Every structure is written in structure tokens, then in C-alpha cells.
Amino acid sequence: MEQIRDFADPEDRDRLLYILETSLEVLKPSQFFAWTQGPLQGLLPHEIVICGMAEAPGQELRLRYFTATRYFKPEHFEAACNPRHGLVTRIIRHWSRMRSPCLVPTPADACTCDVEWAEQLHRLELRSMAAHGVPAAGGGVHAWFGLFRVGEPDLRTAHYLELLTPCMAAAYARVVSSANGSAAEAAQLNHILSRRELQVLELVRDGLSNAEIGERLALSAMTAKNHVQNIRNKLGVRTRGQAVAEALRLGLIPPGRIET
């Protein structure tokens, strides 16, 4: 690992410090997503992150996702995280044995991963991956993070992933802690969001454009756009993807169905 430290040039060290400092401001899911899509991109560029954390010792990981691309949909997440044979489930099991960053495509001298993973990552709209975790004190896995659509991960990616995964885990732990009151928050938002806005939100979840939403609900594209804007404002998020992620977290809308 000594030679990998040579990658830490002055600009990267500044980026690393900025990532660490800004992580302390993360308290809510929308802030975590903004942080991963902002400061963290400086060293670990990606479009999708799947987070897993055991909320108590001995518990299974609870998996959630944040995406900046409309191509990765809830049904892809459900398929990837199927507890019996999902790809993410198998990758986490692999990591729990190896305890090393998992990269796909796999560069030379890195942890070798299952050759079938690349094909499945493409099928699930995840494309490429850099993943690492934090072991639990008594054995098992405390936290795991998969970054997807990362381009061509290399040893530099693995190095910064090892450095930053504990920081990601600390920030995400605060997010999980803040979600304790999510049931009351969801109940309140259910009264704030109108029935029409919930319908629009489900179609946003399914990847429809404003024009397609308008056609489905017999609305103009501008009216659909205004509904989406109102939804983002009420949920306190900046993007359509963040709105869907927050709504799924709060249970305002159901996950999409897996097509068979």
C-alpha cells in the first residue's frame, strides 16, 4: 500500500480535508445525498450509492439507496438487494470474507471479484462499482457502502475508499439516528402532500418525464412540472431523485414492482 500513498497529491489532500470537514454537517438523508454528490465526488466520483448499516449489534444491514441518475429505479434496487440471491447481497458477503475494497471492473493487483458481477451490474443499471465496509466490533458487518457508475476504478479509488469509508459510516450513522422520528414526519407529510402530488411522485419514481406524467394524469407538462417543484419544496430536497429517495425512506410511496 506504500506506493498508493503517492497518489495523495496536494490537491487531493485538500479535497480529502474538505470532504472530512463537510461530512460533519450531514444529519439528514437529503444532506447525505448532497454531500455524496458534492464534496465526495472530488475523490470518489459516482452516480449511485447503496448504503447498508446494522442499526443495532447483531442485526442485519438495512439497505437504502441514493441516485443521481433516472435510469436506476426502485425495481433495480429491489432486485440487487434480494436477501437470497441479489447481487448486492452477494457482494456484501464477499466483502465480509475479504475485508478489502471490491472494484468492478477489477484493476490489476486489486481484490479479484466474481466475473459475473460486471454483467449483472450492467443489467441492473449499476454499470461499475467501488465498494467497501466497516466490520462490526463483535464480528460481522457494521456498515457497507457501494458506489456505482464510478467509471474505471483503479488502485487510487481503492485507496481513497479505504480512507473515506469510516467517514461515510459516521455521517450515515447520524442520518440513521435522525430517522427515529421518521414515522411522525411521514404522517405529517402525508397530510401536507396532496393526493395528486403523491400520484405525481409515484410516476417520478417510475422514471417518467414531466410530459409523460402529464399525459398519464391528463395534465399539461407545465402543471406536472409545477407539481414536481412543489413536492421538492415540501420534502426539502433539490432534485427529483432526492424526492423519490426521501419519499421511499418516509414510506410516502411504495417501492416499484419488479417486472418478471
Please indicate, yes or no, whether residues 157 and 33 belong to a single structural domain of this protein: yes
Same domain, 243 and 139: no
Q: What is the CATH number of the domain that holds 32?
A: 3.30.450.80
Domain boundary (179, 201, 227) is at 179
pLDDT at position 70: 85
Say if CB 130 and CB 149 are below 8 A apart: no
* Number of domains, the chain: 2
Average pLDDT of the residues in 110-123 = 77
Check residues 11 and 145 and name the one with the higher pLDDT.
Answer: 145
Q: Give the pLDDT of residue 257.
A: 44
Residue at a domain's end among 119, 148, 179: 179
Between 54 and 112, residue with greater pLDDT: 54
pTM score, whole prediction: 0.69
Whether residue 258 is contained in a domain is answered as no
Whether residue 134 is predicted with pLDDT greater than 80 in this model: the reply is yes
* Together in a domain, 198 and 80: no
Instruction: Give the residue from 74, 165, 150, 164 showing the smallest Cα distance to 118.
Output: 150
- Same domain (yes/no): 153, 220: no
Contact criterion met (CB below 8 Å) for 140 and 61: no
pLDDT at 129: 96
- Residue 131 CA to residue 124 CA, distance in Å, equals 16
Which range marks the domain in which residue 221 is found?
A: 193-250
**Residue matched to cell numbers 458534492:** 38
Residues 134-146, mean pLDDT to the nearest whole number:
92
Do residues 162 and 203 touch, judged by C-beta distance below 8 A?
no
Q: What is the mean pLDDT of residues 72-96?
A: 90
The answer to whether position 79 is within a domain reads yes
Question: Is residue 149 domain-shared with residue 47, that is, in the same domain?
Answer: yes
In a shared domain, residues 111 and 147: yes
Inside any domain, residue 187: no
Q: Bridge partners of 141?
A: 135
Predicted pLDDT at 110:
54
On whether residue 237 sits in a domain, the answer given is yes
Model pLDDT, residue 82? 86
pLDDT tens digits, 224-239:
999 999 998 888 788 8
- Residue ending a domain, among 179, 202, 227, is 179
pLDDT > 60? residue 4: no
CATH number of the domain enclosing 209: 1.10.10.10
Measured between alpha carbons, how far is 227 from 198 in angstroms, rounded to an integer? Answer: 9
What does the pLDDT look like over 172-190, one tens digit per residue? Answer: 999 888 765 555 555 555 5
